[in-house]
Each structure stands twice: as C-alpha cells, then as structure tokens.
Chains A and B, each alone.
Chain A
Amino acid sequence: MQRREFLKISSLGIGGFALSGTLLYEYFNSNIDEKDRELKKFPTYCEICFWQCAGWVHLNKDNKIWKITGNEKDPHCNGRLCPRGTGGLGSYFDKDRLKKPLIRTNDRGKQSFREASWEEAFDLIAKKMKDISSKYGPESIALFHHGSGGKYFTNLIKAFGSDNIAKPSFAQCMGPREVAFAYTFGTGLSSPEPLDIRDTKCLVLIGSHIGENMHNSHVQEMSDAIDNGASIITVDPRFSTAASKSKFWLPIKPSTDIALLLSWINVIIANGWYDKEFVELNCEGFEQLKQHVQTFTPEWAYGITTIKPDVIVKTAKEMFNASPSVIVHPGRHTTWYGDDTQRLRAIAILNALFGNWGKRGGFYIPDKTEFHHFHLPEYPKPAWTWKNAVDGKYNLVDLGLANVLVDISIPKNKAINDGKTIKGWFVVGTNLTNTLPNTPHTLKAIQNLDLLVVVDTMPMEITGWADVILPECTYLERYDSVRVSQNRVANIAVRMPATKPLYDSKPAWWMARELGIKLGLKNYFPFKTQEEELDWELTQIGSSLKEMKKIGVKNIPTPDHNIYIPKGETIEFNTTSGKIELYSADFEAEGFSPMPVYLAHPEPEESFYRLIYGRAPMHTFSRTSNNPYLTDIMDENTVWVNPKIAKQWDLKENQYVKLKNQDGIVSTFSIKVRITERIRIDSVYMVHGFGHDNKLLTQAYGRGAADTELITNVLIDSVMGGTGMRGNFVTFITEEI
C-alpha cells in the first residue's frame, strides 16, 4: 500500500518528498536515550510570524538544536506553538540560507554577486549613503522593515537623518483597522488584539479566517469559546474552516461587506437591539447615525450581498442576545477595496453599539507596561518626510506608507511633489517585491536607486535586486529586543541564542551598530554587546538577563489595572470629543464621509473570477515557503475552483493551469486546480506566498503561483493610503504548459 501523504484532503492529495543527505538529516539520531535527550534549553520568542509566541529552543545531547516548544507562561501561546513555530527549526537548518555578505557586480536584475567581507560591505554602504546624503539629503534614504531587526535599523536611519520609514504591515495590512479604530475609540488595536474571545458568547468573523490564520492564542480561545457553547457567525465568500464551525455562515458576495454592516446597524437600531445606556453615556453622533442608516434595510442589503433578509435579522439578534459578550472581529489584513477604513469604521461602530468595550467577552482594556530603553541623543529633525511629499493627503496617518515611499522613489512622479526623492533603500526582513502589489511599479522604483541594501536570512526575490546583501542569522542564533506585550496582564519575553550563528551570518543589532559607527553615529549605539543592553533594560523593571534566561516570560502587571469596566460607567476616550465617535467630525474635516457608506465595486467580466487570497495554517507566506518542515506538509498552493466553473472550463482535479488577470498579466508559473464546493462561482481562492521565481530557493522555486503577480490593479484607500488588493480578476489559461 502506498505511503500516505501528510495532508490529505478528500479531493486533493499533496505529496512530500524524501530529502536525504541534507544538513538536516545529519542531525537526526533516532536512538537517543530519553534521559540524555535534552541537554539544555534557551528562551526565545518565535520570528516565523508576528504573534511572537515565547518558547524554548532545546538542544540534544550532541549540543545540536533538537526542537522548539512553547513557554507555558506565555499568554501568546500558553505553551503550545503553532505548526510554523514548531517547524521554526527549518529556518535554521535551511541549506539555502544566505551565508556571506554579497556585493553586486553586474547589471541590475542579474544575479551576479560576489562574496565580500563585512568590513567591505559596510564601507560600501556607508560611502553610498554619504554620497546620496550630500546630493539629496539624508531624507533620501528610506527603510522598509518587518520583524525584529527593524528596530535597530530604524534607530540607524533616524540617527542618519531620515524619517522615511515604513512597515508593509501597515499600508498593506492593518492600516485601515488601526486608523478606523483610532478615530472611533481613540486607539488602534495593535497586537495581540485585546479581544476576549475565550469568554465571548458570539464571535462574528467578517474577513477573518481564524484557524487558517494561526494567531495562536486567538485560535486557542476560539476553541475554548466553542467548548463554552459560543456561537460563531462567519461572513466569507469562502467556506473557511471557521465557517465550518459556525452557527451561521453568510456566503457574502465579495466586496459588499459594508452593505451588510450598515444593514446590521439599521436592524439593531430599528429594533432597539443595542446597549442604550452605554450609547447614551459614551457615544457621540448616535442621532446622525440613526438617520444615516434608515434606508439600509435588510431588503436593501439582500439585493447587494445575496444574504437573505431574515438571515441578516437573525444574526443581528444573535449578536444582541450575546451582548455585551459579543465580538465583531475587526480582522487584521484589511486592505481590500480602497474603502477599507470606512468598512472598519462600520465594524467599530457596530461593536460600540453593543457596548462591548471593556466588557467580558467583548473588547477588554489591555494592560500595557512602560518599558524603558537607554536614553539616546535626540534624532536630527528631517527636512521633509513622506508626508510633505504627498502634500496633505493622509493627514490622519502618522505611520509610514510603504507604497508611498516607493512612489517617491520614482523620478518625476507626477503624484509626488518636486524636490523630494528617495535614492537609497534598506529592506530589512521583508520580501518587498512580493509583498507590495503591482510588482512592476516597485521594480521601476528600484531601477532608480543608487543603493539597495537587503538584510535577510534567505535569498528572497528582493535580494536579486540588491547592491549589498547582508545575511542575518535566524532567531535561534541571536539575542533580540525584549518583547513587550499588551495582554490581560502586561508581560515581557526574551530571546537568547541557542547556538552560534551558522556561516558568516550576523544579528541585525550588530549590523546596525557597525554601520552606525562607520557613519559617525556611535552615540546612538552606546552598548558594545546586546547582552549589556538587555541586562540594562531588564534591570529597569526589576529583572535581569539571568532571571529571564531561567523563566523566558515574566508578567509585569500594572497595579490596579482593570481589563473590564463596570456597567454604567462613563469612559474617557482619546478622541476629539472624548467619546466614541459614531459620527466622525475629523473624517468630515478631511473631506471623507463622516459615517460609512456603501459603494459598489467593479465585478468580474465574463470568464473572469475575483481573485481572493488568504493563509494556510502551516505557512507564513515567504517566511516559510522554503522551510523543509513546512513544505513537507504543503509545498505548493492550489487555485480553488467551484465545480460548476470547473465543468464549464473542463478543468480536472490536480490539473495545472496558468492564471491571467484583467490587465493581461499571466502568472509565471502554473498552479494546481482544486475543485471544491467551498468557493463561490464568481471567485477563485489561493493561499498567498507561493510561486517563487528565485532559483536559489530550492524548496520554493516554481512551486505554485504568486497571487501578488496578478494583483496589478491596486485600490488605494483614500483615508489612509493603504493598498487594496481584492479588485483583481483572473481567467484560466489551460493550453499546454
């Protein structure tokens, strides 16, 4: 009988393949005596995604890295790491890792790098930075970052004189949510989101696929909620895992979510299914809202969303019955159609009406802790930032927009004011070309640069464009900043190296410092070693590196902090009015609609299907697409096609097709077809993070297709500049591949 594959889906098989003679296999020894199994363990927090679960890296008796397990004291994971965290070993063992600093020697776009010493690499970078600075000003250096290394380079770039710094996780992901909640409740939600899922009676998921996204403690709490008999309402055009566990699944027509939300608000106001006392005490603008939603009846919404009126009413009642222990989950990746901040405003408003702010089973008030870093000299004030370049657009936004930094890097870009240009990029821990939609646009910007420095652990696509590549060691091989978390109880976690860096890789902390010294910025890097810096920081809060090495995670509760606010209390919100703003005068002042409205979005033409994308629980996009532990379970993505559509196209299960989008872009690689009832007839679905075209990624190269390639129609959010990515449509190319 044939050996079973790892992940068997009823209509699809996925094959793994045996790797022999790899670095990994050499470390395996199946005959270890139990008492000798564990030599020692080192505290860490995971770097595979941004939930940052704390855990332990275990060494076996041969002093080799053996496994990673969760720290039981950590509320991010409660001792249980997700599949990516458990498989984090793969990032350490990956034989395709960057091993030495590399310097470009040939034409841009051609992978002709030569190995260099760190000294030479830093000298080159410092020289180019100074050249750029003298010609265009220090502001002309931009930093794109994601992950732990970003902090150190942020310090470096700010010390150098630039504030053109952005994380793709803002404008490509959480931005609309953070801005919408800031202008409703006076605060963004940050991470981990303070949602009291384990005690909720009703969890509403609209644009969230918990269970396929592995936000660890939230997945755990959803499981607890299921045990406690909570009901789940999932709004999703796809029958997600969460949808399969839901009391109500609303298979909504894509792009119509705002209509559903407005209709829910209409229903709960019309029926009095909201917390009148809470609204009276804490909300501003209720009368305007009531007036505004009058026409947004379930019947109106039905015609737009295809969700039946009685279902809209039933689900509204379900939410009310559970309130205040109800959560309308605001999601995280919210950059969809360009009106995303408004959609998140609708979600915020709905939550507000149920009075779940500061309530058990709703949104709890997170405990945060003051964490002091060593006092550095003040940063020089830049002559301009990206905000000046966009001349008043995005006034409500403070954080950097990665796509705007790219726009500024393109010369004579009509959308950008003259006199401001970006000529140098640092890209730290983000595969920028595959992260930002409309890759050709990003590449155009790169062509204009005088300097592109990439800091990464792996030869991701972005490295192919670099002038200098600096190999970062993995999280298992380094210290990093103390993780300071908001939660029901504020807590900290540490990361310590379990082993020395492999090859000639180094921690980002060290890189930033060495470069800083070369640039004459030593004052911003006062500590000689990271241990010294960490020990200093930990001593400020009454701990030490020695203590943290033993426990890994420590609670730092704020005395007298209450995560719940008693009913009937008036709460002070950090908004202009001091109340929850159902009606946003701030939005109105900027020319945006003060309350959300529904706007119809373009629909696919005949033979085209809306491209929707998401996550798989065993992957974190590029971060794991080459990880042998995780590719062993899932080594390619598939395109989900409804059987009716498959029949029309005569597609067979497991057949490979290419996808072509509305702009004529064809996917570089073909993708396997998965015929499933779980997707609507007007859409296709694929997991993001595959279709790598860098041959140096031996596990990932050519496997599956890249959705990013096909996302060339970018819908910019007018309020916060985010890049909406769900307005692209694809058709199938079935000819011989």
Chain B
Amino acid sequence: MRYAMAIDTLKCVGCSDCVVACQTENNVPFGFCRDWVVEVTDGTYPSLTLENRSERCNHCANAPCVRCCPTGASHITEEGVVLVTHSKCIGCAACITSCPYDARYTHPDGYVDKCTFCYHRLKDGLLPACVSVCPTKCMYFGDVENPESSISQVLKNRKWKQLIPEAGTEPKLYFLI
C-alpha cells in the first residue's frame, strides 16, 4: 500500500481551490500554505503553451527530510505518507533545507508543517481535501501499488512526468501531461 497523487495538467485551470480547501480543512495560518499552484508559460506570442500544476509535498519514498530529522519527528507511515509529529519537532528546520520541493514551512506554533495527504481523512475513507474539492476533477489519489486503483489506471494510460527526478527522492506526485 503506497499512497500517491496525480494531477492532470491538461485539465488543471490553476484556480487554487486546492489551496483554499487545504487551508480551511487543516487550519493553515494565513501567509503559509501546504499546497500551491504553479503556472508556466512557454513560447512567443502567438505560439504559446501554458501548464498549470497544483504542487505540494511529494511524500517521497526516499525522503531526505526524514533522513535528516534529528528527533524522528519527521517520519514515514507504512502507507508511504510523510508526516511530522508536532510534539517531537524542535523546529530546527533542517528538513526545510533538505527538501528539493520547498514543501515545508515553520508553523507559527513552532513546529514544521506540510501537506499530510489529509491523513486524518484517509482512515475514514475520505480523499484529501484538495482532491475532493477540485472543480475540474483533475486530481487522482490512491494506492499506486494496487493496479486496479484509479491512479494506477491513469498512470498506465497517460504520459506523465515528475518534478526534479534527478534528486533521487522517489517522489509520489505525478503530473499527467
């Protein structure tokens, strides 16, 4: 069982609903975010392309943020979700520096915070808030080790890419292109 997420860039309109939903679901303080939207334009008028991506922590299988954590607050669950135990975190921010995706931030309460794949919702059979809210339904989430899951199907049938694969972190975020 390994959770992963795929975002279809052909359908994403960059509306940032995923950002607002995450904020209200997880009480993310203003000025910080667990997910964000990246918009990349390429070409010269009128030969242009535009890609929209909803980004967040990649919940890497080979996570540098887990390796470098001095207290073990940063850990990975058996389903592959990278989490931070707030009470163990001393806010040293070594993990923030180690992350090639800039996915973490220091919460005003002192601990390091990031996307949790809405772990508190998963056990109730709910999808992460971002995936549930997305108006274009361009986000897929599920067990990438189960060939029947919708995410496995879509990764099989579509072209996809990952961010900074050369860093060797084995990210679990896929972008359909």
Contacts and interface: CB of A to CB of B under 8 A. Distances in A.
Interface of A: 1, 3-11, 16-20, 24-25, 28-30, 34, 66-70, 77, 79-83, 86-87, 89, 211-212, 214, 216, 219-220, 222-224, 226-227, 239, 241, 243-245, 249, 251, 617-618, 628-630, 632-634, 642, 676-681
Contacts of B106: 3
Nearest to B51: A244
Nearest to B24: A67
B45 A642 contact: yes
Contacts of B132: 69, 79-80
A16 B27 CA distance: 16
Contact of A28 (B14, B27, B50, B135): B27
B39 A249 contact: no
A4 to B, nearest CB: 5
Given A7-B36, A81-B133, A89-B24, A245 B10 contact: yes
A239 B45 contact: yes
A24 B134 contact: no
A251 B45 contact: yes
Contact of B16 (A6, A18, A223, A224): A6
Given A10-B40, A249-B46, 7 more contacts: A6-B33, A10-B38, A83-B19, A87-B23, A214-B135, A223-B137, A223-B138
Given A11-B41, A18-B29, A83-B17, A239 B36 contact: no
Contacts of A630: 20
B30 A628 contact: yes
Given A1-B96, A8-B38, A633-B19, A226 B33 contact: no
B45 A6 contact: no
Interface in B123-141: 123-124, 132-138
Given A20-B108, A676-B41, A244 B133 contact: no
Given A241-B50, A617-B16, A9 B39 contact: yes
B151 interface: no
Contact of B135 (A1, A18, A82, A249): A82
Nearest to B13: A211
Contacts of B137: 80, 220, 223-224
Contacts of A9: 38-39, 41
A176 to B, nearest CB: 26
List of 6 A-B pairs having minimum Cβ-Cβ separation, nearest first = A18-B31, A244-B50, A617-B15, A211-B13, A223-B136, A67-B24
Contacts of B66: none
B32 A18 contact: yes
B41 A677 contact: yes
Contacts of B13: 211-212, 219, 241, 617
A675 to B, nearest CB: 11
B2 interface: no
Contacts of B96: 1
A28 B49 CA distance: 40
A25 B133 contact: no
A10 B52 CA distance: 10
A700 B174 CA distance: 36
A508 to B, nearest CB: 26
Contacts of B105: 3-4
B28 to A, nearest CB: 9
A241 B52 contact: yes
Centre residue among A219, A223, A227 by max chain B CB count within 10 A: A223
A355 B135 CA distance: 30
A8 B138 contact: no
A596 to B, nearest CB: 26
A211 to B, nearest CB: 4
A20 B25 CA distance: 19
